[in-house]
Amino acid sequence: MTTLKNDRFLRALLRQPVDTTPVWMMRQAGRYLPEYRETRAKAGDFLSLCKNTDFACEVTLQPLRRYDLDAAILFSDILTVPDALGLGLYFETGEGPKFKKTIRTEQDIAGLGKINVATDLDYVVNAVRTIRQALNGQVPLIGFSGSPWTLATYMIEGGSSKEYRFTKEMLYKTPELLHALLDHLADAVTDYLNAQIEAGAQVIQIFDSWGGALAHREYIEFSLNYMKKIVSGLIKEKDGQKIPVILFTKGGGQWLSQMLDSHADALGLDWTTSLTHARQVVQGKVALQGNLDPATLYGTPQTIEKAVKLMLDDAYAGGEKTGYIANLGHGITQWVDPAQAKIFIDTVHDYSQKYLG
């Protein structure tokens, strides 16, 4: 077992002392990097990039060559599970992911098979194993999945949505059908994430990208409860090391107190929630991650530095010395200048020593 050269991300997740604030970026391997665009062109398209082990490993490592990041995240997509269920994932230029088949009836749900991760998603498992080996202990590797609610919205709508018309119609008209679908997905995601852990993922993040579209009671019933089910079914320890779990609900800052019951080790925040407020709510029971607005990286070096410092001031306002990971409040966008991302990362490391040094 390779010893980690940089374990501050894991230490912060477990609320242990750190020398400086760890930082990584959601979607850190992406279109804003010219080397990523070059590799994607070689692969032919996005799905081919995801499904080629060597290419997936290469783009995972690319941001680590540019930046002083404290974690790597598996390069994949949140929709691998519904794709493995036979829905026919494809990407329209400029329109995002779409499915050839939708799930809207009792018969549709009954027809969903059980995923065999070892065969249906072997390319993800192989990528995790290959990336972990290539990292050689440089930083921890994050595995991930979409939440059942988020996956269900794509499966029911046939792609991304602003209104969630068909999903919410099912929720309010035939909730038992939606529960059946979510339960099926929770089982599949649990198997999928456990396979990633067995292959070498050292941290797990569940992306609940569309949880914030739900009303208060419905969020608890149709999103959080299924994430709790997943967390309870995950492998807790591998090679003598705890496997921390991060829950990230975009638009979910109002549910932090309810999320504490999930038994996750950390909660991700988008940019609409104050870190000072979040620290007060969680009372040191979990770590927090976030939450710079990704659009901040369009700014000048001075405005980026200022925003990062204010974020860190909020994170440490209560006198805490750990339990915080800097990140963006959602994924970095394709229009960001890579040099601006470096300012964010370096400012986190430099300025946080004011509180941790």
Name the token pair of 149.
């609610």
Coil, strand, or helix at residue 162? coil
77 is in an annotated binding site: yes
Q: Consult the annotation and say whether 165 binds a ligand.
A: no
CA atoms within 13 A on the CB side of 49: 22
Q: How far apart are CA 282 and CA 301, in angstroms?
A: 32
Q: Distance between CA atoms of 75 and 44, rounded to whole angstroms?
A: 16
Question: What is the Cα–Cα distance from 327 to 292, expressed in whole angstroms?
Answer: 7
Token readout for 213 is: 């579209």
Rounded-to-integer distance, Cα 226 and Cα 321, Å: 32
158 annotated binding-site participant = no
Distance of alpha carbon 351 from alpha carbon 238, whole angstroms: 34
Give, as one character, the DSSP assignment of residue 250.
T
Reference 178, options 156, 205, 157; nearest CA is 156
Find out whether 209 is annotated in a ligand binding site. Answer: yes
Closest-CA residue to 204 (of 168, 244, 172): 244
66 is in an annotated binding site: no
Residues designated as active site: 27, 31, 40, 77, 154
Residue 70 marked ligand-binding: no
**According to the annotation, is 28 in a ligand binding site?**
yes
- Helices 175-199/225-233 angle, 10° precision: 30
Q: How far apart are CA 350 and CA 315, in angstroms?
A: 15
Residues 313, 318, 324, 328, Cα dihedral to 10°: -40
Gap between the Cα atoms of 25 and 338, Å rounded: 12
Whether omega before 194 lies within 30 degrees of 0, making that bond cis, reads no
For residue 33, what is the DSSP state?
Answer: S
Amino acid identity, residue 76?
S
The amino acid at 211: G
Binding-site positions for substrate read 27-31, 77, 154, 209, 330
Binding-site positions read 27-31, 77, 154, 209, 330
